[in-house]
Amino acid sequence: MQLNSKQENVYLIFGFVILWNSGFIGAEYGLPYTGTFTLLFYRYLALTFLLAIYLKLKHQFQWKGWRYVRHQMLIGLLAHGVWLACVLISIDYGVPVGIVALVVALQPLATGAFSGVMVGEHTPWNQWLGLVIGFAGVAVPVVTRVNFQDTSEIFAWFIPLGSVIAITAASLFQRKISLNKVQENIPRGLSLFYQSLATTLAVILPAILVENLAVDWNPVFIAALMWLIIGVSLGAYTLMWILIDRINATKVASLFYLGPPVTMLMAWLAFGDEVQITDLIGLGLVFLGVFFTYVKSSSMERSQHR
């Protein structure tokens, strides 16, 4: 049975949401045995090596000019290096992965606010309404969990805001490149190679100078590292860029609202993390927000065909 474009998008979205949020779980499994920057270094060193082999075998390993390379390296630094460093530091501080996912889910609001300026895309009222409702769904569990009397705890829990800024900038920049259709024939693996290389180069110094590349190599850490490389870095990021190419940046960003409930479910299954009633309220608001973001009213459909 041949799938139409809408059905393909549904499968792409489902795969992206599962793979993307499994990265939080993989990170929590791996961090007890190494430092933040060391984990990132080994992950992206291996990823860069694997991509180089793949591109060589496919005869796609080529230099496309500094303009292209610097664009991809900037995207990699933001979407991989800064995004993950902030997430891992927060988890390493002891913030639950579900809470990290909640903070990161603020990204759609930022993307919606700046997509018009950066990309020139119009955001209709139903998407703004969906983003606001989704933001409320994120805020409810966060406010009830954070101890606002402890400044160090507040700081740790707001470190993921750096991830929000970084991945929003990377998503909009990638979308702008896609709309300009300047690099449409560039192999996706080549783009990911330069992004991975930039991340490896960015984290190597803190990994050596701060953490001495120290790792407790054991089966749990190796399994977590392999999943982060193959399932998340190769799988989830590839699906994200495909979706950005196929639908607008605001809709792709709204998928991050699904992160908190999915991650909390995974964390409950993997670590027994408690799910509170406020989490369920937030979950309901999140799905309502996603509904408004993706579903156009009949009146809107009619107005667009006039």
pLDDT tens sequence across 76-108: 999 899 999 999 999 998 888 888 887 887 777
pLDDT 10s digits, 25-51:
999 999 999 999 999 999 999 999 999
Helix ranges (H only) for the chain are 5-30, 36-57, 66-76, 83-92, 97-104, 107-119, 125-145, 151-158, 160-180, 188-209, 219-227, 237-246, 249-254, 259-271, 277-294, 298-304
The pTM assigned to this predicted structure is 0.82
Report the distance separating Cα 192 and Cα 185, nearest Å.
14
Instruction: Please answer whether residues 58 and 138 qualify as being in contact, where contact means their C-beta atoms are separated by less than 8 angstroms.
Output: no
Report the distance separating Cα 270 and Cα 292, nearest Å.
31
Residue 58's pLDDT is what?
87
pLDDT 10s digits, 253-268:
778 778 888 898 899 9
CA angle centred on 276, ends 23 and 251, rounded to 5°: 50
| DSSP letter (8 states) at residue 182 | S
Instruction: Please answer whether residues 199 and 43 qualify as being in contact, where contact means their C-beta atoms are separated by less than 8 angstroms.
Output: no
Instruction: Please answer whether residues 294 and 269 qualify as being in contact, where contact means their C-beta atoms are separated by less than 8 angstroms.
Output: no
Percent of the chain's residues with pLDDT above 90? 34
Question: CA distances (Å), 54 to each of 45, 51, 113, in order?
Answer: 14, 5, 38
Tokens, residue 1: 């049975």
With cut-offs at 50, 70 and 90, classify the pLDDT of residue 182: low
| DSSP letter (8 states) at residue 217 | -
Tokens, residue 143: 């406010």
Residue 155's pLDDT is what?
77
Residue 185's pLDDT is what?
60
pLDDT 10s digits, 270-292:
998 888 888 888 888 877 877 77
With cut-offs at 50, 70 and 90, classify the pLDDT of residue 112: low
Q: Where are the domains of the chain?
A: 5-304
Residue 242's pLDDT is what?
83
